[in-house]
């Protein structure tokens, strides 16, 4: 098994935002893995920059909690 895996994806969302996501998995030992998730969202329209001032990390935190639950459930069942 590889000790490290990386994946980078990018796309344009509704001609409004350029989204880039980077996922990195690093094997710590047979029972532990480090998961790093980095995302950038660049507005393509000037008025969207103002909206980002009021944005929160809630969506990202909820997404990562769902990922964690799925991974932990699969680990327990295997």
Cα 77 from chain centre: 24
pTM of the model: 0.63
What would the pLDDT profile of 46-69 be if each residue is shown by its tens digit? Answer: 888 877 777 777 777 787 788 888
What would the pLDDT profile of 19-52 be if each residue is shown by its tens digit? Answer: 999 999 999 998 888 989 898 888 898 888 877 7
Residues contacting 49, CB < 8 A, separation 6+: 43
What would the pLDDT profile of 5-14 be if each residue is shown by its tens digit? Answer: 999 999 998 8
Q: Would you call 10 helix, strand, or coil by DSSP?
A: strand
């Amino acid at each position: 098994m590889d000790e490290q895996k990386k994946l980078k994806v990018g796309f344009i969302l509704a001609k409004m935002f350029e989204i880039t996501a980077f996922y990195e998995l690093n094997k710590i030992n047979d029972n532990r893995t480090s998961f790093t998730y980095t995302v950038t969202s660049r507005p393509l329209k000037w008025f969207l920059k103002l909206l980002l001032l009021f944005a929160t990390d809630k969506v990202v935190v909820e997404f990562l909690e769902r990922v964690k639950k799925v991974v932990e459930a699969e680990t327990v069942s295997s």
